[in-house]
A and B are shown apart, each in its own frame.
Chain A
Amino acid sequence: MSMAINSRLIGLLAPLLFSLLLVGPASGGTSEFILHLEERKVVLSIYSLGQAEYLPMTQVVEALEGRFIWNKKEKQISLTFAGTSLVLKEGERQLLVGDKAFRLRHPPQVVEGRPLVPLEFLKLALVAKYGEGQITWESRAARVSPAPLRLLRYRSYPDYTRIVLEMTFPLGFSVSEADPRRLILEVKGGRFSPGIQRQEVGDGLVKTIEPKQEPDRAVLYVAIEGKRGPIKTFLLKDPDRIVIDIHRSPDVSAKAAETSPKGTSSRPPPALQPGKDAPSFTSKGLRTIVIDPGHGGKDSGAVGSSGLKEKDVVLDIGLRLKRLIEERLPAKVVMTRSEDVFVPLEERTSMANQTKADFFISIHVNAAPRSRAVGFETFFLSKEPSDNDARASALRENMVVSLEGVSPKEMASLHAILWDLAQTMYIQESSELAEMVQEELDKILKVENRGIKTAPFFVLMGAAMPSVLVETAFISNPEEERKLRDDAYRQRVAEALYVAISRFKARYERRLGMGGGGPTS
């Protein structure tokens, strides 16, 4: 009886054992290697040869969308894509990737006229093609995608600081808040995009946000400088993202609530003029105007064929405009730069928001080499669908917070929602200002009027006030470049801008007098 069982066992096992010795797809559920290449899923068959696992070269070539060359005489097999080639030799363990040599654990083999390459070749080829940071490895699968953690942003609200980490697909995470001075977010299998860098927040609550890439996970260290209250973390979709709200300690937040919300990069403005940085929200009417001469310092902006630099022209026009406003209007002017220095774009709007300015005018000169373009045009912020997405997701984030119970403290987050909405509402005012700028430039300059346009300008994005960007002339046009060198011409441009601003101010104040309410009444 026991003998019969043994025999039956042998009978069942023998074919299995036999098949394992053969060259063939490995048995069981492990005979495939699955590649997720963005929108494509490719299945490769794994072949066992002795101890090693192999893949048919043709399948690898197809998966990587490369070119396959097999020099049978030289016994050389190569795979080429986008300028990189991987070269193998039958039975040899050396692999050349470009001019770098690697040693494979198993040599490529030709079995029944079919070249087979070891599994590790696929891994090296994927790294050569996509870069290590783009690939997530699983045991019998690999996923190629742009770094899953694609964007890190934060925003300082009166009573909390929100940190958002956007992902390409949802990943598991954990938050450790044991240390009151430091919050640690770990994202399993996470990989930071190269654009994610250390951020200086310095809003009195969060000091810095520091990404650290570990082999198997991404870690975000949030250094806390203020007295913090509760921390709320949630995972949201579309786009997939982790949201961390670090609340201020209740006693501190009452005081902080008086300051206005600040956008990403809320460093203190570096170039505020002494005596001119006092907020002027005490009486109605337009009191503070921000003039933003484009570019500066290491960023020359566009350069004309005779060498005239945009950064110098726009600074001069900006300073002329400042003098005109200060001489003739009861208004203060804040310059985002008064000299030839580099000021990051986010800092420019941040300065405007912090001084509670009433509107923002960015001055540029245009360029389009080889074109026949001449003239002036004025931009205001468009409602790009992506902006709407961003706003909608900001709203959703806020909804999550406000649904947790509407306490007086939560009302502060309602202010944040209103602030986001206000940005949308400034579009009307911005377009009116843009219209007046175009009209006045048209009267004074007598060159081509290219009209009012909208576009997602970075510098207009974060401004919590009406804002426009004016392109005064084409420095790429030799005739206009010559004009831009002329002081009198620059003065005329400044005059035109001044008239537009004073008209806008008058209309705005008239409206305020009638409505007696907010800026959008």
Chain B
Amino acid sequence: MRSRRRWLLIFFALLVVGVAGFFLGQEMGKKVSLPPSPPPPIALPPEAKRAVKLFFATVQADSLKEEVREIPKAASVVEEAREVIAELIKGPAQDLLPTIPVGAELKQLFIDPRGVAYVDFNRELQDRHPGGSAGELLTIYSIVDSLTTNFSEIKRVQILVEGAEIPTLAGHIDTRRPLSPRLSFEGR
């Protein structure tokens, strides 16, 4: 009886050490896999690029035309979409006209499961907008078309200013709801 108890104790002691060792080993395994210094947070090759189409205004201000540009490839659609808006804010390289008022900046961008991109700008988008329905249409649809064209995940675009929905950007177009792309609005 006594010896059996001793054997049991030894057995359990071994079990404890064994299991502990297993856990420790797991930890060790993790340690080993850790690089000596922290890795760059996003492990993508820095030179990876993708071409995107940006929509700017024609000089007649009657339609949008695309300009192809390269942006860094990113880990998520959201990040690349932000980059597209950043490029749109920079304006066109040639022949076309910018659509985003000077001083307007992107604050946030989210995509919901239904494919609606919420694009939140600072107050400048509205405050410094020159007005006119032609100008307003060009601003709104340059954003909508640039996002929906480049990302199949984005179906519609809801424009926000300082985190809130706006009834209208410059007094004409209804921006209370997400807008669908409209790749041309030339007269008939």
Contacts and interface: CB of A to CB of B under 8 A. Distances in A.
Interface of A: 3-4, 7, 10-11, 14-15, 18-19, 22-24, 38-40, 57-58, 61-62, 65-68, 70, 72, 82, 112-115, 130-131, 133, 144-146, 150-151, 168-169, 193-195, 239, 294-295, 299-303, 310, 345-346, 364-373, 377, 379, 384-386, 390, 450-453, 455-459, 461, 469, 471, 474-476
Contacts of A366: 132-135
Nearest to B39: A58
25 contacts: A14-B19, A19-B23, A24-B23, A38-B112, A39-B113, A65-B42, A70-B38, A82-B108, A145-B110, A168-B112, A194-B163, A195-B164, A301-B132, A303-B131, A368-B130, A368-B134, A370-B98, A373-B60, A373-B134, A453-B185, A455-B133, A455-B137, A455-B172, A474-B132, A476-B130
A452 B62 CA distance: 12
Given A146-B110, A461-B174, A18 B130 contact: no
A471 B133 contact: yes
Interface string B70-89: 00000111110000000000
Contact of B57 (A68, A239, A294, A368): A368
A457 B79 contact: no
Contacts of B37: 70, 72, 113
B23 A368 contact: no
A459 B108 CA distance: 28
Contacts of A19: 19-20, 23
Contacts of B133: 364, 366, 379, 455, 457, 469, 471
Interface of B: 5, 8-9, 11-12, 15-16, 19-20, 23-24, 26-27, 30-31, 34, 36-42, 57-62, 75-79, 97-98, 107-108, 110-114, 118, 130-135, 137-138, 153, 156, 160, 162-168, 171-174, 176-180, 182, 185-188
Contacts of B167: 345-346, 458
Contact of A476 (B59, B114, B132): B132
A147 B127 CA distance: 24
Contacts of B31: 112-113
Contact of B131 (A39, A302, A455, A456): A302
Contacts of A471: 132-134
A142 to B, nearest CB: 14
Contacts of A130: 108
Nearest to B30: A112
B24 A67 contact: no
B167 to A, nearest CB: 6
Given A299-B171, A302-B135, 6 more contacts: A7-B8, A62-B42, A65-B75, A367-B131, A450-B187, A458-B172
Contacts of A169: 113
Contact of B77 (A39, A82, A193, A367): A39
Given A14-B16, A39-B113, A302-B130, A371 B57 contact: yes
B104 to A, nearest CB: 14
A413 B168 CA distance: 30
Nearest to A295: B171
Contacts of A370: 97-98
In the A-B complex, the 9 residue pairs with the smallest Cβ-Cβ separation, listed nearest first, are A451-B187, A367-B132, A368-B61, A15-B19, A302-B131, A371-B61, A11-B12, A373-B61, A195-B165
Nearest to A379: B133
A interface: dominant SS: mixed
A363 to B, nearest CB: 12
Nearest to A22: B23
A14 B24 CA distance: 15
Given A7-B8, A377-B187, A458 B173 contact: yes
Contacts of A82: 107-108
B120 to A, nearest CB: 8
A24 B27 contact: yes
A456 B173 contact: yes
Contacts of B182: 384
B171 to A, nearest CB: 6
A40 B164 CA distance: 23
Given A193-B165, A457-B172, A146 B132 contact: no
B90 to A, nearest CB: 16
Contact of B60 (A239, A371, A475): A371
A294 B171 contact: yes
Contacts of B180: 384-386
Nearest to A131: B163
Which one of B5, B107, B171 has the greatest number of beta carbons of chain A within 10 Å?
A: B171
A157 B84 CA distance: 44
A505 B35 CA distance: 80
A169 B112 CA distance: 10
Nearest to B24: A22
A458 B134 contact: no
Given A11-B15, A15-B19, A38-B78, A302 B132 contact: yes
Given A24-B23, A366-B134, A373-B60, A11 B174 contact: no
B165 to A, nearest CB: 4
A146 B111 CA distance: 9
Contacts of B5: 3, 7
A151 B41 contact: no
A239 to B, nearest CB: 8
Given A65-B42, A455-B173, A368 B135 contact: yes
A146 B112 contact: yes
A40 B79 CA distance: 12
